[in-house]
Amino acid sequence: MIDLIFLAFIGFILLLGLRRPYLWVLLYVYIDILAPQQIGYGIIQNFSVSFIAFCAAFAGWLVLDRKEGSRFTFRQGLMLALLVYCWWTTQNADFPEPALLKWEWVWKALLFAIFMPLTITTRLRLEALALVMVLSVAMIVIATGMKTVLGGGGYDQLNFFVNDNSGLYESSTLATVAIGMIPLIAWFTRYGTIIKPAWYVSAFAIALIFACLLIPIGTEARTGLVCIAALGVLLLRYTKKRLMFIAAGGLLGLAALPFLPPSYYARMATIAQPGGDESASTRVAVWSWTIDYVQQNPFGGGFDAYRGNSFTYEMPVREETGNTTTVEFREVTDEARAYHSAIFELLGEQGYPGLLIWLWLQGLGVWQMERLYRRWKGHADESKAWIAPMAAALQIASLIYLVGAFFQGIAYQPMFFKIIGLQIGLYTYCLRLDSLREKPRGRPTRSRQKAKDAGDAVTA
Amino acid sequence: MIDYFALALGHGLLVIAFLNLVRRDELDVDPALDPVAGRKSAGDRARDKRKAARTNAAHGNDQADDDAAKGESA
């Protein structure tokens, strides 16, 4: 049944796209985030809905769409360079088979990220893309938040729509994305034109933001807590009453404490004591292994190069017998431990050139959004007032991603390439607005000149 | 049940958004970037012209002729 509903929805959007081909781009974004083909378990799996939507989006843009304002920007060039470089390292990978498996989804994510900004040529397209991203993530967030409130949380225990740790259906990734989206959700309460600001929009947004904050609690993802702290610090810049904001944040945190489950305290305590948890203690070991590895292989070892690592270390193991707790240090040998950090993932897999391109791509986004914020803040005119807040929201999304990415191997997470797509679209749009202002007025047309002459004659 | 609720809510809002988008010309032509688009599109102008012509034929009104001519030159 649910398969048929998904198919009906996808078919409906495909039909609407005949009139507005850009809707097919939005359809692909929805499918890529929510993965309805993985949620359904029947007939929908017979259709490559993702492939169909991608072909429709690309062909629609190529054949039917206006391409006025489409520009290939430097950041798209960086993504193209990363794509070509990843292809080259895949050919020379240490572990060719797993590398090919990862390459199969990475190239698609990068290709769509390069293509998508070409289609974002108007304000409404920017807003529509942001809205589809928010609503697609919202479905996962609402379900997860409700399960958390109703007591179904726990690390690796919360059931998502899909339980295979793919895409956004991985607890730490979802927590990072959910926290990073909060400023964008708030943006819609003031500047949305598709679903116009009203009390019910604000009520939905507040409930959604609350659900986003519940994700790190429900999934017990430590990275999520770090991201909430980072968000709080970043928001200070945009808050007029900072002391009040800090006090309110502290009070809210304290008020939430009694409602948190004991397992949450136990897991969060390991942030400060990384030695007590295997997942945390191996990170440091993997990172130092990667630094050694890249000295020998400065151009990287291709995707999944971490499979070559192996290290032995001592980890404290607690054992409780009656009222006594004994801590014993045991030797643990780990093999093929994942990077647990996008920085080290890139360093190990793509070497220094790959890391440089990726950092350049991310850093440029933060810088461009900063420029836009400073250039457009304070505009009261409705047609311009939305720009600075959107730039700020996208900058925060990038920074939260970078914070989260330091503790997770999410260097190629498609969701963040979509944020980059939005940033490129916004930056290009504002450049066009500026060039329109700077452009000297064109020569008067013959009819205008005639009218002017007639006017002059009358006044004379 | 929670999953179905979240999916229904999200898809309902997406349908509203898509229906809104399909009706809006600003999706393809931005009025802030294309001042001409802020006025009527070529299709709309042609439609107005045909309408004016029909009004003429029905009423034989000279004034309508002038209006249509003005509309054309605009």
pLDDT tens, per residue, chain A with 460 residues: 788 888 899 999 999 999 999 999 999 999 999 888 888 777 777 778 889 999 999 999 998 888 888 889 999 999 999 999 999 999 988 888 889 999 999 999 999 999 999 999 999 999 999 999 999 999 999 998 888 887 755 555 667 777 776 778 888 899 999 999 999 999 999 999 999 999 999 999 999 999 999 888 877 778 888 899 999 999 888 888 888 888 888 888 777 776 676 666 666 666 655 555 556 667 888 888 889 889 988 898 889 888 888 877 777 777 777 777 777 777 777 777 888 899 999 999 999 999 999 999 999 999 999 999 999 988 888 888 999 999 999 999 999 999 999 988 889 999 999 999 999 999 999 999 888 877 655 554 454 455 545 544 444 3
Interface contacts (A, B; CB < 8 Å): 102
pTM: 0.82
* Cβ count within 10 A of residue A286: 25
Rounded to whole angstroms, the Cα distance separating B43 from B29 reads 14
Q: Does the ipTM surpass 0.95? A: no
Q: How far is A16 from chain B (nearest CA, A)?
A: 7
Residue A311's nearest CA partner among A280, A332, A341, A338 is: A332
A140 touches chain B (CB under 8 A): yes
Residues of B within 8 A of A128 (CB-CB) are 17, 21, 27
CB contact under 8 Å between A147 and B2, yes or no, is: yes
Residue B59 in this model has a pLDDT that exceeds 70: no
Shortest Cα–Cα distance, B66 to chain A (Å): 17
Beta bridge partners of A5: none
CA–CA distance, A425 with A120 (Å, rounded to integer): 5
Residue A14 Cα distances to A7, A26, A51, A230, angstroms: 10, 10, 13, 40
Contacts 24+ apart (CB under 8 A), A364-367: A364/A74, A364/A75, A364/A78, A365/A75, A365/A394, A365/A395, A365/A398, A365/A419, A365/A420, A365/A423, A366/A395, A366/A398, A366/A399
- Token pair, residue B31, equals 């009025």
A306 DSSP assignment: G
Which residue would you say has higher pLDDT here, B46 or B33? B33
Locate the chain B residue with the closest alpha carbon to A437. B33
How far, in Å, CA of A229 to CA of A248, rounded? 14
- How far is it, in rounded angstroms, from Cα A385 to Cα A406? 33
Q: Please state, in angstroms and rounded to a whole number, the distance separating the CA atoms of residues A172 and A178.
A: 10
What is d(CA A56, CA A21) in angstroms, rounded to the nearest whole number? 8
- Alpha helix (H) residue ranges in A150-277: 171-191, 199-219, 222-235, 242-256, 262-272
